[in-house]
């Protein structure tokens, strides 16, 4: 353990062997830091924060401070950071906003410079958030998702696993798993995240079925209910496909739509095309 003489460490903090704490960093009350974690200079770790093993936290990151929530009344709440997480310069992670609530970041995630994770967010494992990506409160970012630089996610929104959210996107509704979502608010689904699926080792046949599901959901003028029914009738079952459909069924904020889709029609209504877009027409569903 190597703690710089100018660092301030609360006597109730628990620091495991192999931890390094840089100059002028501040470690607050009820903070636990796992073995071999490196904390650079000028880092602030507020209180009630647990940080896993082998993490690297860069200068001027601020973790475990009070939530930016007018409803917060001072109750004890927490931040939990998994193992092997990289937290770059000027990242901010707020504690939960209710008693015993937790803001959580999963193992091996990368939070690039200027990322903000608001109160009560749950970020999965191996998530990448590029520079200045921002989460509103109560967001859920599932495993292996990628958020591009300056992407903004509205509170209570979910981003499904292996989803790709493009830089500067404004996410107002849930981004489905295995898909690419791009554009200013409201961001739209543009394609299947085929490269991400390959990198995660998803079987080629399953990738094909996911592309076919994309076409049914976004290119055939069907309501979501009818599209899901058609997918279940015509495509072979797989864990990935089942998960995709369950994500659609369980969404509370609604799912991002496509700029190319023909708007799903209610019973007896004519469908109308909306938001024609040259960018998305140039991206084939492959």
115-147: per-residue pLDDT in tens? 999 999 999 999 999 999 999 999 999 999 999
Burial (0-12, 13-18, 19+ Cβ within 10 Å), 184: exposed
pLDDT band at 271 (very low <50, low <70, confident <90, very high): very low
Alpha-carbon gap, residue 82 to 144, rounded angstroms: 14
Chain segment 243-269, per-residue pLDDT in tens: 999 999 999 999 999 975 444 444 444
d(CA 179, CA 16): 40
* The pLDDT of residue 272: 38
Structure pTM? Answer: 0.90
pLDDT in tens, 194-245: 999 999 999 999 999 999 999 999 999 999 999 999 999 999 999 999 999 9
Mean pLDDT, rounded, for 85-107 = 98
Q: What is the per-residue pLDDT across 20-75, written as a single tens digit (0 to 9) for each? A: 999 999 999 999 999 999 999 999 999 999 999 999 999 999 999 999 999 999 99
Concatenate the DSSP letters of all residues of 134-162 into one string.
EE-TT-EE-TT-EE-TT-EE-TT-EE-TT
Query: Residues 103-113: what's their mean pLDDT?
Result: 98
Please report, for the chain, the start and end positions of each structural domain, with discontinuous segments joined by +: 2-196, 201-281
Give residue 273's pLDDT.
Answer: 38
Residue 276 — very low, low, confident or very high, per pLDDT cuts 50/70/90?
very low
CB 130 within 8 A of CB 114: no
Q: Which CATH superfamily is domain 201-281 in?
A: Udp N-acetylglucosamine O-acyltransferase, C-terminal domain (1.20.1180.10)
pLDDT of residue 256: 96
pLDDT of 152-181, one tens digit each?
999 999 999 999 999 999 999 999 999 999
State the architecture of 2-196 in CATH terms. 3 Solenoid (2.160)
- Of 157, 214, 209, the residue nearest 190 (C-alpha): 214
Question: What is the per-residue pLDDT for 1?
Answer: 84
Pairing of strands 188-192, 179-182: antiparallel
Question: Known catalytic residues?
Answer: 119-120, 137
Strand partners, 15: 33
What's the CA gap between 197 and 135, in Å, rounded?
24
Instruction: Write down the pLDDT at residue 25.
Output: 98
The pLDDT value given to residue 260: 57
């Amino acid at each position: 353990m190597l703690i710089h003489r100018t660092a301030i460490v609360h006597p109730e903090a628990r620091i495991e062997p192999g931890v390094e704490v840089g100059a002028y960093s501040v470690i607050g009350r009820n903070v636990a830091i796992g073995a071999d974690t490196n904390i650079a200079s000028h880092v602030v770790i507020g209180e009630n924060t647990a940080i896993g093993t082998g993490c690297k936290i860069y200068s001027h990151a601020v973790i475990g401070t009070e939530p930016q929530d007018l409803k917060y009344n001072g109750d004890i709440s927490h931040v939990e950071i998994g193992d092997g997480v990289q937290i770059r310069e000027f990242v901010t992670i707020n504690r939960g906003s209710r008693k015993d609530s937790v803001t959580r970041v999963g193992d091996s995630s990368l939070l690039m410079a200027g990322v903000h994770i608001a109160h009560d967010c749950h970020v999965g494992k191996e998530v990448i958030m590029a520079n200045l990506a921002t989460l509103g409160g109560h967001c859920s970012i599932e495993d292996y998702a990628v958020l591009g630089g300056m992407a903004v996610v509205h509170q209570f929104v979910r981003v499904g696993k292996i989803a790709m959210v493009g830089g500067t996107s404004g996410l107002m509704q849930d981004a489905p798993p295995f898909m690419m979502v791009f554009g200013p608010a409201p961001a739209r689904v543009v394609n299947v995240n085929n490269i991400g699926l390959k990198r995660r080792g998803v079987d080629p046949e399953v990738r094909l079925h996911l592309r076919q599901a994309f076409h049914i959901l976004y290119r055939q003028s069907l309501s979501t209910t009818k599209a899901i029914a058609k997918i279940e009738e015509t495509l072979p079952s797989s864990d990935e496909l089942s998960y995709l459909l369950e994500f659609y069924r369980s969404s509370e904020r609604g799912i991002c739509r496509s700029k190319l889709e023909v708007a799903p029609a209610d019973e007896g209504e004519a469908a109308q095309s909306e938001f024609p877009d040259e960018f998305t027409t140039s991206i084939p569903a492959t």
